[in-house]
């Protein structure tokens, strides 16, 4: 029997993510990106994500969607969805029209002001093919980012949607998250803290 095709996706463990942007900067460094370009994005999200207020973040990159809006919008066919799930952007075909950036519900593709072309994460496909993990995965000091195979993962342990993150059903975002756990908060004897 043929080996089942992998569907690569990012799994972000938000219980471990400290919102530090080490992923963003190591990626920028490794690929020598224009300083204004980030292939990863770390955003603060609702302090009430787990009930009691605390600092929460979402770290994402390109979500390598099943139905990539960038590919649909692109007039030159610069985006392709690979069999392994990765949405790859071909800069040689890109004319820098930014239609993809407008179409992407996550605002992922960014304009490189020097190359005059768009830029986005390709999940370090060359590294994956060489048996190595993406740079953000190996750089995260908290080991909060992993690559998973969506055909293998137990979907009951992860979520695809979070407040502040566009509905995954729009384009079939492949990114999965492990939700942060709640923290018991004792604060100045105020028990109704989260009602403030």
Partner 1 sequence: MSKVSRRTFLKGSAVLGALAGIGGTASSFKKIKPAKAAGKKKQVFSSCPRNCYDTCSIVTTVEDGTIKFVTGNMNNTYTNGRLCVKGYTYPNYVYSPDRIKYPMRQKERGSGKWERISWDEAYDIIAKKILEIKKEYGTTLPIALNKYSGNFNVLNNAVEGMLSSWGYTTRAQGTPCWPAGIDSQTFDFGAAVANDPEVMVKAKYLIVWGANPAWTSVHSMSIIERAKENGTKIVVIDPIMTDTASKADEYIGIKASTDGALALGMAKYILDHNLHDMEWMKKNSIGYEEYLNYLRNNITVEWASEKTGVPVEVIERLAREYAAAKPAAIWLGYGLQRHTNGGASVRAIDALAAMTGNIGVAGGGANYAQTECYGFNYAVQSAGTPPEGDKAGGDRMLNMNNFPAQVLAINNDPEQIPIKMLWVACRNPIAQDPEASVSYKAFESIDFIVTADLWFNETVKQSDIVLPVSSIFETWGLTASYWHYWVNVNEPAIEPLYESKSDLEIAMGISKRLNELEPGSCTYPTDRSIEEWISNELADDFIKKFGFKTWRDILEKGTAKVEGYEAAWSDGKFRTPSGKYEFLSETCAANGHHALPVYVEEMEVPKDRPIRLFSPHWKYGLHSQFQNLEWMRSIHNEPFVEIHPALAKKKGIEDGDMVRVESEVGYVEVKAKITHTVPKDAVVIYEAWYKEQNFNANFLLKATPSDMGSYATGQAGLAFHDQFVTVEKI
**Which residue ranges make up the site for partner 1 (CB under 8 A)?**
15-16, 18-22, 24-26, 28-30, 32, 35-38, 42, 47, 53-56, 127, 131-133, 137-143, 146, 180, 183-189, 193-194, 196
Q: Which residues of 26-41 are buried (b: 16+ CB within 10 A; e: fewer)?
A: bbbebeebeeebbbbb
Q: How far is the CB of 133 from partner 1 (least distance, A)?
A: 4
Nearer to partner 1, 43 or 67 (CB): 43
Nearer to partner 1, 61 or 139 (CB): 139
Nearer to partner 1, 23 or 62 (CB): 23
Q: How far is the CB of 76 from partner 1 (least distance, A)?
A: 27
Q: How far is the CB of 72 from partner 1 (least distance, A)?
A: 29
State the Cα–Cα distance between residues 105 and 21, nearest whole angstrom: 21
Contact 87, 78 (CB under 8 A): no
Q: How far is the CB of 125 from partner 1 (least distance, A)?
A: 15
Q: How far is the CB of 158 from partner 1 (least distance, A)?
A: 16
Q: How far is the CB of 168 from partner 1 (least distance, A)?
A: 25
Strands 145-149 and 8-13: antiparallel
Reduced to 3 states, what is the DSSP secondary structure of residue 156? helix
Nearer to partner 1, 65 or 128 (CB): 128
Reduced to 3 states, what is the DSSP secondary structure of residue 81? strand
Strands 41-45 and 56-60: antiparallel
Report the 10 Å Cβ neighbour count for 18.
Answer: 14
Contact 40, 180 (CB under 8 A): no
Dihedral angle computed from the Cα positions of residues 136, 148, 12 and 157, in that order, rounded to the nearest 10 degrees: -170
Nearer to partner 1, 27 or 69 (CB): 27
Token readout for 19 is 């919102």
């Amino acid at each position: 029997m043929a080996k089942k095709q992998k569907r690569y996706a990012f799994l972000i463990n938000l219980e471990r993510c400290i919102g530090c942007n080490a992923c963003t900067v190591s990626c920028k460094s490794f690929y020598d990106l224009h300083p204004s370009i980030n292939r990863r994005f770390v955003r603060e999200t609702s302090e009430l994500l787990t009930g009691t207020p605390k600092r929460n973040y979402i770290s994402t990159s390109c979500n390598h969607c099943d139905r990539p809006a960038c590919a649909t919008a692109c007039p030159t066919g610069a985006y392709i969805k690979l069999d392994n799930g990765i949405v790859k952007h071909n800069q040689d075909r890109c004319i820098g029209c930014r239609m993809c950036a407008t179409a992407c519900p996550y605002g992922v593709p960014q304009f490189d002001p020097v190359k005059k072309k768009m830029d986005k994460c390709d999940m370090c496909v060359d590294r994956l093919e060489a048996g190595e993990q993406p740079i953000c995965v190996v750089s995260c000091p908290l080991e909060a980012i992993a690559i998973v195979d969506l055909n293998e993962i137990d979907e009951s342990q992860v979520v695809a949607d979070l407040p502040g993150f566009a509905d995954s059903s729009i384009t079939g975002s492949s990114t999965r998250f492990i939700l942060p756990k709640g923290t018991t908060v004792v604060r100045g004897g105020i028990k109704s803290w989260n009602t403030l």
